[in-house]
Amino acid sequence: MSRAEMDALGWDACDVILVTGDAYIDHPSFGMALVGRLLEAQGFRVGIISQPDWQSAEAFRVLGKPTLYYGITAGNMDSMVNRYTADRKIRSDDAYTANAEPNKRPDRAVTVYAQRVREAYPGTPVVIGSIEASLRRIAHFDYWSDKVRRSVLADSKADLLIFGNAERALVDLTHRMAAGEDIKTIRDLRGTAFMVPPGWLPGADWGVHNSTRVDVPGKVDVHPNPYAMAQEDKTACATDNAGTAPEVVKPIRIMSREERLAMAKEKHDKTVVRLPSYETVVADPVMYAHASRVFHLESNPGNARAMVQAHGERDVWLNPPPLPLQMDEMDGVYDMNYARAPHPSYGKAHIPAWEMIRFSVNIMRGCFGGCTFCSITEHEGRIIQSRSEPSILREIEHIRDKTKGFTGTISDLGGPTANMYRLACKDKAIEVSCRRLSCVYPSICVNLGTDHSKLISLYRKARAIPGVKKILISSGLRYDLAVRSPEYVKELVTHHVGGLLKIAPEHTEENTLSKMMKPGIGAYDEFKEMFDRFSLEAGKKQYLIPYFIAAHPGTTDLDMLNLALWLKKNNFKLDQVQTFMPTPMAMATTMYHTRKNPLHKVTADSEVVETARSGKIRRTHKAFLRYQDPDNWPILREALVAMGRGDLIGNGDKHLIPSWTAGEGNGQAPAAGTRRAGPAAMAPSAPAARGPRANALTGSLTARASIDNKPRASILDTIKVKAKPAPAATPVRGAKGGRVAAPAPNGRAGRK
């Protein structure tokens, strides 16, 4: 991270310099460390420039000029999501910065850093990556500017973009550049994107399919009538056999099924899908929704084709997504020699993101849930990539032995989803050909393995490690999968819940859930029954912490009212709630921007998705989630009257919110019979003094007759360590490094 450290290592220059918007923490949950250590293991000298001052190019010259390239990342989070709330307000802190200091990274950090690097050393190759670049690899709707923006490649002028899990592409790229290849000629790496001249193809044997051949965005042209009488064109039958030309015999060759399939696959693999241009999707919301649908249909690395999208006089070319890492590759990535601590230059500074994951272990990557509001699948993919049991157990022992402050509790064994470890399609042939957007919606696929026995075994072995007192599960749980394995639910509830367990129904109404691709609330009820029963058997008082989203595309005022009534019926008084934030390339973001549903064929006449866009409607939807807060009563009264539901305003048990009371909103006590949320965020409150008897275990009340209680339906080739010849005068040694493509801490970029 400094010239002094380079001098101590005897380096005259770094091979690769990685620029990041995060503080540098040498831990595998932080992508910068993961990729830096990976390149170090390949024999490269890696430098880190962490949170540089972007106002000038000077901070980008601190380590000198790299011999190979600069790698640019915004960090573990998208810089806009990191810096702004769902209401576009600037956050007061930054969890990835020392002492949570805000404003240590610019907006759209990847673009700004890449521009400054170009100023610092013109002509030096620039590679961009991370979740920010990954989710902006094509034209995309940008919530913060409320417009469709170009690919980040066009804005940053980078030579190459690596998207998704970057390890394999990054290793191959770095070795090829070290061997003398020009980065502008490296065009065959999976998981990479780059700018090319219009009409460019990798070879003469490549073909182009317009995206409308993949998914028709409008009316289909009328097919010609085969029985219609038409003028015969005799010239169409003319051959070289006419006149005096010698007869040419062309025998018919019968091909086997295997040969036909092989030819079809070769043709498929050498076909690029042309998406509507940037200019087209800016002007036409229907074509934007169509492009989004095609993009997601071409996301399975087993059958995805290359894609190309015109941006003015140049094209953005996207190679197919990276192949998932195999288990031994995952082990190799996470078993490297991490210091498991922030860089010493931060001293005793408090870094909240580090504090959150310092005692947690990432056991897998990816998510096949396909939730439309979540960007994990666009980045990490739908195929689960799991570590081996021994590798995970070794990391727990490293935490016990190396991490300061360890008291015996592992805070999480998880990833994007807690209980997808080792789950996969039962048939590899089906997996590589599948084009479903989700393996669990609208129902769990019959070809998906849901056996949780390997995860149960891992839990039991982990908590048996000497020195480990408790293993908690903090990652979001996919409860519709969990109910398939009562043994897993019992194991989890009996040993791995610290009083509260996070799950995310997200909503109760089918109208909204269908736009989220989430299971019906009946699946939650089924899981809750198991959770309560096994908690009682274990003699523990434990609670579910449900998460909900307000103002999601497709949500009406009535949907939010019904959710509020469900919360009141179950006596949930939420403390922290989330308003939908449209992140780049997510399918729900497409719904938000276009009012079209890309989960189905998109046409000018297809389904219209009503979306809460105005600030007042979004505030109203959020207020329904916190109906118990006196600050929300004025806006809720106005909404209920407008909806014709003034009968829900009053001071009785049948009412949602009370009538106006003196002192309301001035910090005084609310009316009798109402109370603010308790200190436990989103936990069920204590039973009221009157009314139905509360369940002794959970504190939830039985349904009141005045509130609707209608029943709802229940629901990879291994990275080889290649030796790089070292210069005679300079020892080739490693340094702490960074990452181009990074998941969030512990792999969690969203909720399941």
- In order of 46, 118, 171, the CA distances from 35 in angstroms are 10, 22, 9
Per the DSSP assignment, residues forming a β-bridge with 549 are: 578
With H, G, I as helix, E, B as strand and everything else as coil, classify residue 619: helix
22 vs 104: CA distance, rounded Å: 9
DSSP state of 534: H
| Closest of 663, 620, 661 to residue 641, by C-alpha | 620
Asked whether 411 and 396 are in contact (CB, 8 A), the reply is no
- Residue 120's SS3 state is helix
534, 490 in Cβ contact below 8 A?
Answer: yes
How far, in Å, CA of 199 to CA of 637, rounded?
Answer: 59
Helix 31-41 / helix 167-178 crossing angle, nearest 10 deg: 40
Handedness of CA 295, 301, 305, 307 (dihedral sign): positive
Distance CA 118, CA 63 (A): 15
DSSP at 196: E
Q: Which of 172, 751, 677 is nearest to 416 (CA)?
A: 751
Sign of CA dihedral 30, 25, 474, 91: negative
Cβ contacts of residue 102 below 8 Å, gap of 6+?
A: 83, 90, 91, 92, 93, 94
Nearest residue to 54 via CA among 90, 3, 19, 10? 19
Q: Decide: helix, strand or coil at residue 588.
A: helix
Which amino acid, one-letter code, is at 177? M
Tokens of 315: 């094209």
Within a 13 Å sphere around the CA of 127, how many CA atoms are in the beta-carbon half? 28
Question: Considering only CA atoms, which of 304, 305, 273, 323 is closest in space to residue 172?
Answer: 323
The helix/strand count (H/E) of the chain reads as 24, 23
Choose among 693, 750, 707, 746: nearest CA to 354: 746
Q: Which residue is listed with tokens 């493509």?
A: 741
Distance CA 482, CA 514 (A): 20
**Cα gap 88→597, rounded to integer Å:** 25
Residue pair 12/704 in contact by the 8 Å Cβ criterion: no
Token couple for 218: 């409008």
Report phi then psi at 412, rounded to 5: -170, 140
**DSSP track, 470-529:** EE---SPB-HHHHTT-HHHHHHHHHHS--SEEEEEEE-S-HHHHHHHT---HHHHHHHHH
The tokens for 549 are 């989203």
Cβ proximity of 434 and 299 under 8 Å: no
Q: Is 374 annotated as a binding residue?
A: yes
Strands 192-196 and 341-342: unpaired
∠ CA 126-128-130 to the nearest 5 degrees? 155
Find the Cα–Cα–Cα–Cα dihedral 382, 334, 428, 447, rounded to 10°: -50
367 is in an annotated binding site: yes
Rounded CA-CA distance 108/744 in Å is: 17
Rounded CA-CA distance 620/616 in Å is 6
Q: What is the 3-state secondary structure (H, E, C) of 663-706?
A: CCCCCCCCCCCCCCCCCCCCCECCCCCCCCCCCCCCCCCCCCCC
Question: Beta partners for 48?
Answer: 18
* Residue list for the binding site: 367, 371, 374
* Residue list for the binding site for [4Fe-4S] cluster: 367, 371, 374
